[in-house]
Amino acid sequence: MANTRIALGSLLILLAVLLGPFSGTASADAEMKLAGFADVPPSGVGGTLSLPLPPGATPVTVNLTFGIPSLTIPVEITHSTHVESDTGLPVTLTDGDRITVEAIVVQGVLRASRLKVDEFPELELNGTVKGLPAAGVTLPLAAGAIADLFVTLGASGIDVPVRLTSKTKFHGQSLTIHNGDKVKVEAGVQNNLVVATEIKR
């Protein structure tokens, strides 16, 4: 809890410095660069956003979660936000995608000047599932639900704990995973946990 307060306090101080007495205007000096996981509106499972936004489109605010302990802050995306993706444009931003954002403070709002969808996760695991109930687990999970499992890496016998969430992506309408299944997991580290952003069987 103390670490959370310290981290949050540091962020608030940083924002206060950036806002300063001239928060009504954007300044190239008042810029932040953040990397984290996107939560795309509407709230709940399955939010998507096609980027870049067309000219004249209403700005959209996404929540960006980053750091250990994790913090979540809103970032506004506009039609002026420069969007980059290794797979080309347009790109569909989905809940759980890892993004890097450069943002400036405009009238008290963090506005993204540049956004890049990161195609490469922090971790990529290939192995065998264990540690699930006998019935397995079916995705998508309900909003806020989690499921913990282990991925055993090849013949090494190393078990990596992995957490599935309602934002873990997969192919198809649903996916049921059982102990013994071979899977490929893309994941990031959040709150000292390996959290799956995508899983394939």
To the nearest whole percent, how much of the chain has pLDDT over 70?
A: 79
Domain boundary among 57, 91, 117: 117
Are 129 and 113 in a shared domain? no
Domain boundary among 68, 99, 117: 117
Number of domains within the chain? 2
Dig out the tokens for 12 from the structure: 């608030």
Q: What is the pLDDT of residue 191?
A: 60
Are 105 and 153 in a shared domain? no
Give residue-wise pLDDT tens across range 1-53.
Answer: 444 444 444 454 444 434 444 334 444 444 788 888 889 998 766 788 999 99
* Residue 7, domain extent: 2-117
The pTM of this model reads: 0.54
To the nearest whole percent, how much of the chain has pLDDT over 90?
A: 46
Domain boundary among 97, 117, 137: 117
Q: What is the pLDDT of residue 94?
A: 85
Are 111 and 133 in a shared domain? no
Are 9 and 98 in a shared domain? yes
> Any idea what the CATH number is for the domain that residue 129 is in?
2.40.50.320
Q: What is the pLDDT of residue 30?
A: 43
Are 16 and 105 in a shared domain? yes
Are 33 and 105 in a shared domain? yes
Give residue-wise pLDDT tens across range 95-122.
Answer: 888 899 999 888 888 999 999 988 655 7
Are 36 and 55 in a shared domain? yes
Instruction: Give the mean pLDDT of 145-172.
Output: 90
CA–CA distance from 117 to each of 41, 173, 176, 178, 201 (Å)? 17, 23, 27, 31, 24
Are 67 and 110 in a shared domain? yes
- pLDDT-derived band at 89 (thresholds 50, 70, 90) equals confident
Q: State how far the Cα of 68 lies from the Cα of 19, in Å rounded to an integer.
A: 24
Name the average pLDDT for the chain.
82
